[in-house]
Amino acid sequence: MNLITWIEQRTGIVSQITDFLTEDVPGGASYWYVFGSATLFAMVLQIVTGIFLTFYYAPSSATAYESTKYIYQHVPFGSFVISLHFWGSTAMIALLFMHMLQVLIWGSYKAPREIMWVVGVLLLVITLVLGLTGYLLPWDMNAYFASQVAINIASSVPIVGRATQEFLSGGPAMGTLTINRFFGLHVWLMPALLVMLVAGHLVIFRHNGSAGPPVDTDLKKLPQGRFWPNQMFMDALASFLVFGVMVALAIFSPVPLDDKADPTQKFIAYPAWYFLALYGLLRIAGNLPEGVVPIANLLATVVIPGGLVTLLILLPWLDRNPSRQLSRRPWILGITTLSIIIAVGLSLYSQMAIQKEQLDSKGTPTVASPAPATGGVAAPAAAGQNGAPVYATNCASCHGASGAGTPNAIPPFAGNPDMNGDATGIIHTVLYGRSDALKIGATTYNGMMPPWKGQLSNADVAAVVTYIRSSWGNKGSAVTAAQVAKVTK
Ligand code: HEC
Structure confidence by residue, pLDDT tens digits, 328-378 = 999 999 999 999 999 999 999 999 998 888 887 765 444 433 333 333 333
Average pLDDT over residues 16-41: 90
Residue 83 in this model has a pLDDT that exceeds 70 = yes
- Average pLDDT of the chain is 88
- Does residue 403's CB lie within 6 angstroms of at least one atom of ligand 1? no
- Per-residue pLDDT, averaged over 235-263, amounts to 93
**Number of C-alpha atoms within 13 angstroms, CB side, residue 134?**
25
Q: What pLDDT, on the 0 to 100 scale, is given for residue 295?
A: 86
Please report, to the nearest 10 degrees, the dihedral formed by the alpha carbons of residues 146, 147, 149, 152 taken in order. 180
Probe residue for ligand 1, chosen from 152, 265, 398 as the CB with the greatest number of ligand atoms within 8 Å: 398
Whole-number Å distance, alpha carbon 429 to ligand 1 midpoint, is 7
Ligand 1 contacts CB of residue 431 (under 6 A): no
- Measured from the Cα of 418, ligand 1's closest atom is 26
pLDDT digits (tens, 9 = 90+) for 453-478: 888 888 889 999 999 998 888 888 88
Query: Of 358 and 39, which is predicted with more confidence?
Result: 39
d(CA 188, CA 44): 15
Instruction: Inform me whether the pLDDT recorded for 36 exceeds 90.
Output: yes
End-to-end CA distance of the chain: 85
Whether 50 and 190 have beta carbons less than 8 Å apart is answered as: no
> What is residue 363's predicted lDDT score, i.e. its pLDDT?
54
Query: Hey, how many other C-beta atoms are within 10 angstroms of the C-beta on 406?
Result: 19
Q: How far is the CA of 353 from the centre of ligand 1 (A)?
A: 23
Q: How far apart are CA 106 and CA 470, in angstroms?
A: 62
Flag whether pLDDT at 145 surpasses 70: yes
- Return the residue whose CA atom lies nearest to atom 16 of ligand 1: 435
Distance CA 43, CA 152 (A): 29
C-alpha–C-alpha distance, residues 301 and 409, integer Å: 12
Evaluated on CA atoms 276, 279, 284, 287, the torsion sign reads: negative
Is residue 411 lining ligand 1, measured as CB closer than 6 Å? yes
Q: Is the pLDDT of residue 226 over 50?
A: yes
Q: How far apart (Å, rounded) are the C-alpha atoms in residues 448 and 132? A: 19
Contacts of 218 (CB under 8 A, 6+ apart): none
Q: What's CA 454's distance to the chain center, in Å? A: 32
Alpha-carbon span 238 to 214, nearest angstrom: 22
Query: What pLDDT shows up at residue 238?
Result: 96
Q: For residue 163, which amino acid is it? A: A
Which one, of 130, 126, 144, 143, lies nearest residue 186 by Cα?
A: 130
453-456 long-range Cβ contacts below 8 angstroms, 24+ apart: 453/488, 455/264, 455/394, 456/390, 456/394, 456/430
Q: Which residue has the higher pLDDT, 42 or 227?
A: 42
**Number of C-alpha atoms within 13 angstroms, CB side, residue 128?**
15
pLDDT (mean) for 368-395: 55
Q: Is 239 exposed, middle or buried (0-12, 13-18, 19+ CB in 10 A)?
A: buried
Distance CA(448)–CA(391), nearest Å, equals 17
Most confident range (mean pLDDT) of 74-83, 210-219, 448-457 is 74-83
Per-residue pLDDT, 373: 34
The minimum-distance atom of ligand 1 relative to the CA of 425 is 27
Closest CA to 38 of 180, 177, 246: 246
User: What's the pLDDT at 76?
Assistant: 93
The distance of Cα 159 from the centroid of its chain, to the nearest Å, equals: 21
Nearest protein Cα to ligand 1, atom 9: 449
For the four alpha carbons of 83, 176, 273 and 267, in that order, the dihedral sign comes to: negative
User: Using 50, 70 and 90 to split pLDDT, how confident is the model at 429?
Assistant: very high
- Mean pLDDT value of segment 99-128: 96
User: Looking at the predicted structure, is the pLDDT value of residue 211 above 60?
Assistant: yes
Q: Which residue's CA lies nearest to atom 5 of ligand 1? A: 395
